[in-house]
Structure 1
Amino acid sequence: MSKFIITTCLLLFWAFYEMSGGADFEPLERKVVAKAPVTDLPEPPVVVAQAPRPAPIAALVAEVTTASYTPELVIIPAPEPVVEDVTLASAETTVVEDPLIIHQVAGEWVNMRDGPSTSFSVLDTLPRGTKAEILEVNGDGWAQIRLIDSGKTGWMAERLLSEG
């Protein structure tokens, strides 16, 4: 194959040499045209003119009067607080907590990190189905979670959580 390439290159070189005239090649003469000499031009005349003087400005004098205004101070009394007598019917109180929305890890083994980025260190690797509560979701697609079983908190990609 290399013999074929070398032979082809030599054949092309020889063809270009012959087409350009071979040993009888004589380059065409160049004609160099000299630039026309620059003639000395006379300097443009300098015109000096005075600007017209502005007309004098007449000063207007206006009489200024000052008016005195004293606003009246109005005091509005604050309403008196209303105190109602409240008696509790029973001493029992019930606290109603918001129901937790439990999410599950949707990936096989998902890293829970120390912060909302892959540049933070891995705190734990969670298997699929691990239950967690979402505490916060930032705008970059990361959710701060708290694990239901252990109470650990960390960050993971929000797309890797599913409701359930």
Structure 2
Amino acid sequence: MRFVIISFAVLGFAFWELSGGADFEPRGLRPAKPERVAAQPAAKPEPLVQVEPAKLVAKVSLTPYTPGPTPVEKAALTSQEQLERLARARASLNKGLTLFDDDAAQGGTLTLASLEGGILALGVEPGEPEPAAEPQTFTYDRPAPDLREITGSRVNMRDGPGTLYPVISRLTLGHKVEVLDDSGTGWLRLRVLPEQQIGWIAASLVSKKSN
């Protein structure tokens, strides 16, 4: 009995697989297969410009070559003819280049005008030499030195216009100095008298310029 049940189970499973298994659809519920339609040939595109093959060939007209007249070589002149031509050319040149008439050419005299008076009239008489100009001398007035005094009790003179520069000397009240340059930044470049040492001191520590 068990063998029969197993046989029916195997047969049922085989039938189920042969009929499509899980994808089985009844005949009435299957969708209709699409009909096959033959593909239509693509339309051949028409050319934008109709060109005839006959017009693509250029027609060239050839003109037959006609030879020109052959140049005739001139006969070479003999030495006698060349001498005669040279003699005629020389005679014509002598006749055309004559500046005087026949009488003058046969012994007439030619009188030239004297140019002595004209040349003397054109002469320039030398004048008296001008006196030499005296050399001019220019005098340069050197401006008076700008002498001032130190107004501070103990003033540092530095190597440049600012406190960042090192101190090179110290001056006391009333020390004579000569101002050389005013930078406009509150510092004066001056020379210490009579030591002739040059440095920078704040303008507020130096007396005003005397008018």
TM-score range, shorter chain: 0.3 to 0.5
Counting strand residues as a fraction of each chain, which structure ranks higher?
A: 1
TM-score normalised by length of structure 2? 0.33
